[in-house]
Amino acid sequence: MEKKSWSRWWLLPIYLLAALAVFVFGWYDGVYWEHVQSQATYSNSATMPNSEEKMVDVKHIPEGMYAVGSDIPAGTYRLIDNSNTTAYMAVYSNATTSLDSLVVNDNFRNQRYVSVKNGEYIQIVRCYMQKEN
């Protein structure tokens, strides 16, 4: 009678633990949930400001979504984390915030620098921006 080999079964707890860690940390940071939620929110509410609206103060830009060229000027910005968890930023080529329009995104702590061009949209969560000179 041949003895069964259990050499592969010891990997099962490791795979389950890895899957649980991905779920817990993804949920804890809220990145995936907030990204999906913000897509629905911003794609329904993103509007171009009229000519009477002014650009925001570039010394302290709070979290939100901004149209580059109309809400904020093009250029390089420093993003500063203001939370106890990770901050999130995404740059889109249009206001739909779909994956097809995603130019760059990042989860970060402390600070990051990002350059944006006219016509792009930037979304920041749990952080604020300052325009670099």
Tell me how far apart the alpha carbons of residues 23 and 17 are, in angstroms, rounded to a whole number. 10
Is 107 within 8 Å of 86 (Cβ atoms)? yes
What confidence score (pLDDT) does residue 52 get?
Answer: 46
Q: What is the pLDDT of residue 2?
A: 58
| DSSP H or E segment with residue 108 | strand 102-108
**Structural tokens at position 91:** 């740059």
- Interval 45-98: pLDDT, tens: 344 444 445 567 778 899 999 999 999 999 999 999 988 889 999 999 998 888
Domain that includes residue 30, residue range: 11-131
On whether residue 15 sits in a domain, the answer given is: yes
Instruction: Indicate the number of domains in the chain.
Output: 1
4 within domain boundaries: no
Asked if residues 121 and 91 have their Cβ atoms less than 8 Å apart, the reply is yes
Asked whether residue 5 is assigned to any structural domain, the reply reads: no
Question: Considering the entire predicted model, what is its pTM?
Answer: 0.59
* Residue 120 to residues 10, 51, 66, 95, 96, Cα–Cα distance (Å): 49, 18, 9, 8, 11
